[in-house]
Amino acid sequence: MNAMAMSKGCVLVVDDDNDIRELLSQLLTREGYTVETARDGEEMFALMDQRSPDLILLDVMLPGADGFELCRQLRSDAGMPPVIMVTAKDDEIDRVVGLELGADDYIVKPFSGRELLARLKAVLRRARQPATGGRRDLFRFSGWRFYPAQMELLDTNATAIPLSTSETELLLAFVQHPQIPLSRDRLLDLTKGRESFPFDRSIDSHVSRLRRKLGDNARKPEIIKTAWGTGYIFTYPVEAE
């Protein structure tokens, strides 16, 4: 009981390689985390029925449904924990796909224990901090309602649309600075810098995801427009409560 109380959090490691699961389990346990492991998506969801992890380390190459599909399923539920995708593929397209599906971060094998722990701590810190930062609880724009603390959007029909941690931070930056062009560097400053977006162009991927969730035409966006030579601009006026 004392060990659980002192745990830094529960991490669910999903990987079909026994050696990797054991290695990550030992590393995270030494650092004070409680660790659960699963070999595939079926075991992952079975474990999640029994307890709620604080973070999921999700390998891409899995038997059955791969990590991309599992990430998509996880992100369809606003109550799901943050996800760090883990893969041996050092390919920018794979990184972008993972981020577009809602992953909070992406790490490529082989990686050092120090790098993994740093990314894990950053994602957990963001997930545990109130998204509003003590400011506003609700933002309204053009019939939409945005609840940062709940990481949730309600569309004009009051249908709830879940957001990832990174999507919430980015949308919060936009609605707090409506109708003002924001560069990528400025968006990094307004969110949590490279802790939120590990490489510059990942902001573009998150903007694309936000546009889709807002029903914004990718070819001719009306809500989050591209400010050529600058970055992006959230065009609608916003009411904050």
**Is the pLDDT score of 2 beyond 50?**
no
Q: What percent of the chain has pLDDT over 90?
A: 37
Q: What is the mean pLDDT of residues 219-231?
A: 88
**According to the model, what pLDDT value does residue 175 have?**
92
For residue 46, what are its two tokens?
A: 């079975």
Q: Of residues 157 and 90, which shows the higher confidence score?
A: 157
pLDDT over 90 at 104, yes or no = no
The predicted structure's pLDDT at residue 118: 87
Nearest one of 148, 39, 127, 129 to 84, comparing CA atoms: 127
Residues in a beta bridge with 227: 231
The whole-model pTM stands at: 0.59
User: In this predicted structure, what is the pLDDT of residue 35?
Assistant: 95
